[in-house]
Structure 1
Amino acid sequence: MAPSNLEVFRSIIDRGFSGGDLSVADEVCAERLLEHQYLTPTDLPGPAILKSQIESARRNLKDFKLKLEAWVETEDTVWARCRATGTDPGSGKPVAIDVLDICRFKNGKLIEHWGVPDRFALLHQIGALPSPPT
């Protein structure tokens, strides 16, 4: 029996982002992936796009982990909220941010992705943004 779209998404989160296993991209991505996440390269084959996202996340936060916290699965789409944690290498400060993902699948392969990491929370936690007024 083929894995569900949620199981495929979980493998991206657990094996790829948290574990650093880039081979998951070759297994789960369609050759043509429509990528909508800001600042993500889109001129690469699908697996290479996902690999670049995994590498970037793990390079930008030491001890990077991504945990799936909430999701909704429809016929061809997984909507998810994840929690990213790690340590900013520049400041040495621990960070924890939310990441929202919408992933569309076809025949067990990721074909389209929207990702929204809370970059403002990240910048605030590392001291790059001023504290809000009280």
Structure 2
Amino acid sequence: MSTNLEHFKAIIERGFSQGDLTVADEGCAEKLIEHEYLSKTDLPGPQILKAQIEDARGSIKNLRLAIEAIVEAGDTVWARSKATGVDPRSGKPVAIDVIDICRFSGGKLIEHWGVPDRFALFHQIGALPPPPGST
């Protein structure tokens, strides 16, 4: 049997980095409690995860997530990842941190908090003014 860490890594590597949506059917419960800002919440769990993967891959071209730190405590996995790719509108390379907290039950994702650093993304693509003192 796979561990929660292995389930999480599959979601990140196969799902977000490779665009394999089958990972949602395999690793997400029908009922997913989703806390990420702007994420869909009125769909079955696997559909929520598929939408998140598609949205992320549409927002950052050639998206790759690399897990930089990960901890499992009981039924919960906490991770910090680096998302890299290219902003499709500006063509600029981007790199942001992503924090995920995922709760599992019976080998399935049942609850998720996700915090991608959208503020850093907006700075990198020029949608926000540069930070003070950076010019």
Deviations 1:41-69, CA, capped at 9 Å, x for gaps = 00000000000000001111111111111
1:29 lines up with 2:28 in the alignment: yes
Q: Distance in 2 between matches of 1:130 and 1:44?
A: 36
Q: Which residue of 2 aligns with 1:7?
A: 6
Shift of the alpha carbon at 1:76? 0.1
1:106 lines up with 2:105 in the alignment: yes
Shift of the alpha carbon at 1:132? 1.5
Equivalent position amino acid for 2:92 in 1: K
Segments of 5+ residues of structure 1 without an aligned counterpart are none
1:63 lines up with 2:55 in the alignment: no
Equivalent position amino acid for 2:127 in 1: A
Deviating 4+ runs (over 3 angstroms): none
SS of residue paired to 2:43: coil
Backbone CA RMSD of aligned residues: 0.5
SS of residue paired to 1:64: strand
Segments of 5+ residues of structure 2 without an aligned counterpart are none
Q: Distance in 2 between matches of 1:28 and 1:35?
A: 15
Shift of the alpha carbon at 1:133? 1.5
Deviations 1:58-103, CA, capped at 9 Å, x for gaps = 1111111111110110110000000101100110000000000000
SS of residue paired to 2:78: strand
SS of residue paired to 1:130: coil
Question: Across the two proteins, how many residue pairs are aligned to each other?
Answer: 133
Normalised TM-score (structure 1): 0.98
Identity of aligned residues (%): 71
Q: Distance in 2 between matches of 1:13 and 1:70?
A: 13
Q: Which residue of 2 aligns with 1:18?
A: 17
Shift of the alpha carbon at 1:30? 0.4
